[in-house]
Structure 1
Amino acid sequence: MAQISDRKAQLEARLAQLDIRLHGIEAELESHHAQDWEELAVEREGDEVLEGMGVSGQQEMRMIRAALDRIASGEYGFCAKCGAEIAPERLDAVPYTPFCRSCAV
C-alpha cells in the first residue's frame, strides 16, 4: 500500500508542477504587445511553441487526474483494457498510464 501512496504523491506533485507551468505559459502568451511586424512575427512563432507546450501539459494533467481517480477507486495499477496488473517498471516510466504494455501498443 505504501507504493500506491508514493505514486499518488508523485502524481500530485507532477500535477502541481504542470499547473504552475501552464499558468506561466498563459501569462507569457498574454504579455506580448509588439508593435512592429518583425517583432510580432517572432512573438507569434514563440506563441505557437508555447501553445503546443500548453496543450501537451493539459493532456498530461487530464491523464494524471484520471490516474488519481483510479487510485481513489482502487483500480490503479490494473490495465483498463484487459484487467491485467501493470508492471511496476511501466508505472515507474509512465505513472499515469491506464494500460499494460501489451494493450498500449
Structure 2
Amino acid sequence: MGVPDFDPRAALDALAAEYSQRAEAIRRDLGQIHSPDFAEQAQQRQNDDVLRALLAEAEAGMRQVGLARLRLADGTYGECARCGEPIESRRLRALPAAEHCLRCADLQH
C-alpha cells in the first residue's frame, strides 16, 4: 500500500462523516410538508425523486466506506479486489474507499 502521508483511517472517517451529514440533510428535506398548491406540490414531488436518488447515493457511499474499513481491519486495504495488485496511491487519495485498481475499475465500466 505505502501511500506517504496518507492515513486511510482518517480519510475513511472524513468520508463517512460527509456521507452521513449529506444523508441527514436529505432526510430532513424529504420530511418537509408539501404545499397545498397543486402545481407547486407537483414540483416538490419531482424534487423528492431527485432527493431520494441522492440519498441512495449517500447510503451506497456509506456502505463502500464500511467495506473499506473491513479491508483495513483485515489487512487487504489498498489491494485490488479483482486482480490483487496494489491500488494506485493517487487513486486511494482521491477515492479512499476504492476497491479496484484503475485498470480493473475501467474493465467494469
Q: Give the alignment's TM-score, normalised by structure 1.
A: 0.89
Paired position in structure 1 for 2:41: 40
In the aligned structure 1, how far is the partner of 2:94 from the partner of 2:43? 36
Deviations 1:50-84 (A, max 9, x none): 11110111111111110011001110000111111
Q: CA shift at 1:3, angstroms?
A: 5.4
Paired position in structure 1 for 2:14: 13
Q: Number of paired residues?
A: 105
Higher share in helix: 1
In the aligned structure 1, how far is the partner of 2:81 from the partner of 2:53? 28
Q: Unaligned 5+ residue runs, structure 2?
A: none
Paired position in structure 1 for 2:90: 89
Paired position in structure 2 for 1:50: 51
Paired position in structure 2 for 1:79: 80
Q: CA shift at 1:33, angstroms?
A: 2.7
Paired position in structure 2 for 1:66: 67
State whether residues 32 and 43 of structure 1, in contact with CA within 8 Å, keep that contact through their aligned partners in structure 2: no
Relative contact order (C-alpha < 8 Å, sep 6+): which is higher? 2
State whether residues 86 and 101 of structure 1, in contact with CA within 8 Å, keep that contact through their aligned partners in structure 2: yes
Q: Once superposed, what is the RMSD of the aligned Cα atoms?
A: 1.8
| Structure 1 runs of 4+ with >6 Å offset | none
Distance 1:90 1:5, change over 3 A: closer
In the aligned structure 2, how far is the partner of 1:37 from the partner of 1:47? 15
